[in-house]
Amino acid sequence: MPRVVIDDREVDVPPGGTLLDAARKLGFDVPALCFREGCKANTTCMVCVMRIVERGQGVEGPRGQGIGKSSGHLVPSCATIVEDGMRVESETDAIRRIRRTTLELLLSDHAGECRAPCQYACPFHTNIPRMVRLIAAGQVEDAIVILRRDVPLPAVLARVSPEMSEGGCRRSVVDEPVSIGLLKRYVADKSLVAKTPYVPPCKPGSGKRVAIVGAGPAGLSAAYFLLQQGHACTLFDAREKPGGRLREIAEQQLPREVLDTEIAQIEKLGARFELNIIISRQPTNVAANAPAGRSLDELRRDFDAVLITVAQVCDLCSHRLKTGAALAHEAGSNIFAAAAAVRPRGQATQAAADGKAAATCIDQSFRGVAVTGPAKLAALGTGRPRKEEIAALMVDADSAKRIVPQDPIAGLTDEEARIEAQRCLHCDCRKLDGCKLRKYAEMYGADARRYRGRRRRVERVSTHPDIVYEPGKCIQCGLCVQIAEQAREPLGLTFVGRGFDVRVAAPFDESLEKAFTTTARRCVEACPTGALAWKAEST
């Protein structure tokens, strides 16, 4: 059995095995965008390159493609047959730089973005396009999961704060933005009346305890996410009921039943409330019937972390290390501050987002990693669609005008929500989680703008009932062409054009429906980018 040494680690592979086979056997996650088991090596992406340091015994061409293997040469690992005694470099800094450059070249004319602008604009970075598609498909229970996974108190926030996400909606170029705020409220209200309310999964108890000063939107939000990480939370508040300034909002705008129901759901996760308590630097002697007092030192002693979310006690943190625009952490201590404690009072939605960010920082401190806050959403697109390209995104969108609910107090009906959801342009990538190009670009730190030039045109082919094809996202890996050929599709796919204008398409300008008679599913699964994706959301 041939033996190869990759980065000073020996591994045996069966005769005929490739360097990619050997690397994967060693546990290396080598990027290979154009290779798939059961298909011949296309060697079109060249992201899986390795360097042969020492040749083995005998020189065989890599799987019939005749690529030489002189010492020191770069080779595509997916097509290079292992020779006994071969020594190879794979995970060195030099090879990783080459792979990063190759990824950057693939991204340089990539006509598409990973996430829609509404997701960036949302303070919670909710996957709004997916939620909207689920509403359009009548899968409201799945839409509830998407919303409540990222947003605390969604039914409350949808009523009391302007919807920030709508500012990024590209539908506004055509007419008016999608009513994202009303759709969020629609989903959140469905969650409140569900027979089996959605409860986010919580990790096993960590043994860590967090004191949260302030049971307003920031404190409640922090508890919602800390509890999911397995950390126990106790919220302290000077008021008689949790909710903070949310209880100052008029009943007509925010029914107390809605607020109490959402708070009760956080309590079901394990949150404890100690109300009518004033937190100060020193213990406070109070008169009879006055609120009880706790000192900051007591909280620091009794809890593993303390989060301050109210302005009245912001002076408790004397020295802070900034970790974000709305978060502070007292250096060398277990004190954190967020929202009104570190900046002027703002919208309830922003305060809740600050609480979520604080929860991330506290969890990071418990895990012993750098306290950096939530990871920033990577932007791998090469630019927003031009105005004239927006028409291409309208191919699957309803041309209806923005829906105004018949009853503004009750919100959208089922039918109104469905129609409004169908107005979405779906300018996100529908294969975000399964895109290998995004995965490895993030892993290797690729910069999509390093070799920025004239990108391909944004277009969308929707001639198949189940799948959508976006040629601007295609890297011409050839896997779909090969799969259709193997299955002996009557028409199949082919490469059309020459040079930089080459593209994958059905021959003779036929439709995708005629090209895919039996292989649509296999081709969507094989596509390494979001070029081929399902129109409807899978659950």
Q: What is the mean pLDDT of residues 201-205?
A: 96
Query: Residue 318 burial by CB count (10 A; 0-12/13-18/19+): exposed, middle or buried?
Result: exposed
Query: Residue 8 burial by CB count (10 A; 0-12/13-18/19+): exposed, middle or buried?
Result: exposed
Angle, nearest 10°, between helix axes 217-228 and 348-367?
40
User: What integer pLDDT is reported at residue 319 of this predicted model?
Assistant: 40
Res. 66: pLDDT tops 80? no
Res. 383: pLDDT tops 70? no
Angle, nearest 10°, between helix axes 140-150 and 180-192?
100
User: What integer pLDDT is reported at residue 322 of this predicted model?
Assistant: 44
Q: Yes or no: say if 512 and 464 are a contact pair by the CB < 8 Å rule.
A: yes
User: What integer pLDDT is reported at residue 346 of this predicted model?
Assistant: 78
d(CA 197, CA 422): 26
Domains of the chain: 3-91 (3.10.20.740), 117-197+385-421 (no CATH), 209-367 (3.50.50.60), 454-534 (3.30.70.20)
| Close Cβ partners of 34 (under 8 Å, ≥ 6 residues apart) | 41, 42, 43, 44, 45, 78, 475, 477, 478, 479, 528
Angle at the Cα of 440 from the Cα atoms of 390 and 94, rounded to 5 degrees: 130
Helix (H, G, I), strand (E, B) or coil at 278: strand
Q: What is the DSSP letter of 323?
A: E
Res. 241: pLDDT tops 70? yes
Q: What is the DSSP letter of 164?
A: G
| Close Cβ partners of 149 (under 8 Å, ≥ 6 residues apart) | 200
Q: Which amino acid would we find at residue 171?
A: R
Phi, psi of 101, deg, nearest 5: -60, -40
54 token code pair: 């020492």
pLDDT, tens digit (0-9, with 9 covering 90-100), for 247-276: 999 999 999 999 999 999 999 999 999 999
Q: Which residue in this structure is represented by tokens 């020459």? A: 498
Rg of the chain on CA atoms, in Å = 28
94 token code pair: 């030099």
Q: What is the mean pLDDT of residues 223-234?
A: 98
pTM of the model: 0.85
Angle, nearest 10°, between helix axes 128-136 and 414-421?
130
d(CA 271, CA 276): 16
Helix (H, G, I), strand (E, B) or coil at 280: strand
Q: What is the mean pLDDT of residues 191-201?
A: 91
Q: Which residue in this structure is represented by tokens 């006509």? A: 111
Helix, strand, coil percentages, rounded to 5, for the chain: 35, 15, 50
Phi, psi of 164, deg, nearest 5: -70, -30
pLDDT band at 283 (very low <50, low <70, confident <90, very high): low
pLDDT band at 177 (very low <50, low <70, confident <90, very high): very high
Task: Kindly give the residue spans of alpha helices, DSSP state H, lying in 122-255.
Answer: 128-136, 140-150, 154-160, 180-192, 217-228
Give the rounded percent of residues in the chain with a pLDDT score beyond 70: 90
Angle, nearest 10°, between helix axes 93-107 and 436-443?
140
pLDDT, tens digit (0-9, with 9 covering 90-100), for 33-54: 999 998 999 999 999 999 999 8
Which is more confidently placed, 528 or 317?
528
Length of the chain: 539
Q: Yes or no: say if 83 and 56 are a contact pair by the CB < 8 Å rule.
A: yes
Pairing of β 327-329 and β 321-324: antiparallel
Paired residues of 212 in beta bridges:
235, 307
Helix (H, G, I), strand (E, B) or coil at 339: helix
Instruction: Provide the mean pLDDT of the chain.
Output: 88
Query: Residue 162 burial by CB count (10 A; 0-12/13-18/19+): exposed, middle or buried?
Result: exposed
